[in-house]
Chain A
């Protein structure tokens, strides 16, 4: 028995990093539009028009890949059980240094919520994005609301992604391995996702 358990297969990992890339492309190309504070980011794309161009087409890739990502993990994230509710009530134990006994499946409640948020946000960003792509083709009110929603989701999305990145990296050492190599240590798995680990272990025995 190795020290590791398999967490994400190659396909899943490639898709995640593809989504990440397009997401950050969206961030970088969109942020100049969001506020003049970030107007310098246009230079990355050779100017505002370049940024918009990239944003539109990378946006389509993001929309497609992120939706796919969501659909792939749909089953794993869509149900919150009692353990998840317990996790949530303690905010994942992140607010204290003390030991936190959690009994998560493959994903903890925070991840599930983030996944759901991401799926919904992708859809909303996509719809509103397509509307503001052709602002003259829609009633003014619709475009105005779309701009608001697109900007609002961008803000929330970016904030959650910062959290997501933190928790996936230095906040929870060992987590990033799963998304890079596809495997995590048994210790990590037992600690963070004991329920899932037990399932995995059971599977390993039967095979």
Chain B
């Protein structure tokens, strides 16, 4: 989230699209209702009329997988009707940048952007470069009139997304569509804010990342970034999924969003060179310019005293990925299915249920020699060898089950969607033999290290040199239980040597040397981190969370001086306790809030600082201490994480082009993309050529005529491993079901409550038909298209509940992140009586 949960109450319009917070974030839904209480409007856009829709002022149905068409239409509406917030668009985005005149968009090329290589299924982003003048500065047109400027290109690109066209693609009735556009675009006024709440309904598509970018563009156009009640807000699917992503859960990022090094970056300087953006603009803070400090401090945290300047702080020991390598979830199981792995740790996960194309996943598990499952309960993954269609005698995989403690049984922090890291103490002792993950990991480490010490191995150094000082020690020096506070301190970071507080360039050197920090002291914030090995920090964005003042995450002060619900002394938010990021975009060039009634920050020019200077920011922690932009010497642009300091309406960062463009899901009901000749995402990785038989798909195929999507229900948690073991919850949702419209039910002669079989090109699942007016057939390209939906919380391991919906979902992912496309695929359905 750019903002945070409580902040949703400040919104005048809440757009819930690709999410269903009433069902999946019920506790947080109170803030949405608070927005409603103060007159805000709630819009829900979803293929199904959900429990969230039940509370909405406005509900718009849309066919699964057509969000970009919907949002593109909104961009078009905003631009055509001049509803954008001009001061923000002109100064805080790259709208005025001039693009290379050779650039062409999908309107001119058949659904593609310039620079496409069909063989590689990828683009050369150079074709989207900006025009530069002699001294390498981007050329701009502040009037936004130049036909090559981003603004005009965007206008042209989205002019194709007329309401008629969008309605024809999405199936959303035109009047509803326009009502949504009108309502949401009303937040383009400075005194109004609109927030966007999304979740897996946007991400789990071949165009997932672009779905979110489309919304980001809308928010930038309407001036909804950095303001109270605005932002682009990902509703995380688990209480600590934000925390795990921050700490390097994904294959391509280290903790703190440092890229995982690829093998062609031979040494640290090459890594830093590659990953440190540069700018010549004095008004750009270019925060990633500090990359060197963060990676050096990270390496010190990992390898401790073994990391020295001479050995590049142990950079060589960091695991690398091959250049261009894709080590995502889908690929992991693809490789496993091809027999490439010996062993596998299924730690706190249930891929036999949660993995897309779960049939393939289950088969893949059978190729392993061993598998360790760490979980609270036995489940479909741990017991895959005795699952449906498996012959236990033939499966050779040896499975180990390590019982893990539940979150209430251990101390530590969890980071919620709003980036708030909240410390929690253990409520009860772990049950039986179950242990906290940290203990299991601690044991594992010492045992692996001992094995390497005894037997050697291919490359023992990364393990042997690991700094690992988390355990309380027994008298004989052996490790006892893990001190979770030691982990928190390492994440926060500390000084390894006395570090002098050097004056900023141009300032006089004080008579006495001032220290930034003494050796051994916890760092007070990431501005103190050093590139020379004088500091250690496990995750720079968490620096400050556990400092000399104490454990900031454990704070529980309920003070809200702004009335905006920032609650700055409740727990701690990354970065540096900033509750609303990009908050510099909420003020004008003089630091005056665009909406003074809900000022997140404002510049107080009369405040006197200790050093005698005037002026400081009040309110939330600003994106950097520098004065506002009207101060041409010291002022900075608002988007400090971007090299040029402004937000990218036109962005060369993503695989499938600089503007989001609508492509159909891999499996879709129509033969042609109504917008262009390019039906599916041209940059998404395809598995069918040279793929395994399980990677089959069936698009616009009469055998699988219905659009399907998957989702969660309030009553169950993820694959249901936790909730299916609670009889009270099973009582509420006892069995796999499929929601279908009354029209489809009539067509297929299915009665409410009938058992039906839902099948896709990959598998079939038995379910109870829930026939409901909450789903309606769509009119798409003049034809009737039926949509159905199923929850993915069931699995065969619990008797009588039915098997996993993911047996139906395809092997294909987003072009940028490889998140699987489980939210739009094609199925058939037939009654079993």
> Do any beta carbons of A and B sit within 8 angstroms of each other in the complex?
no
Binding site for B on A (CB under 8 A): none
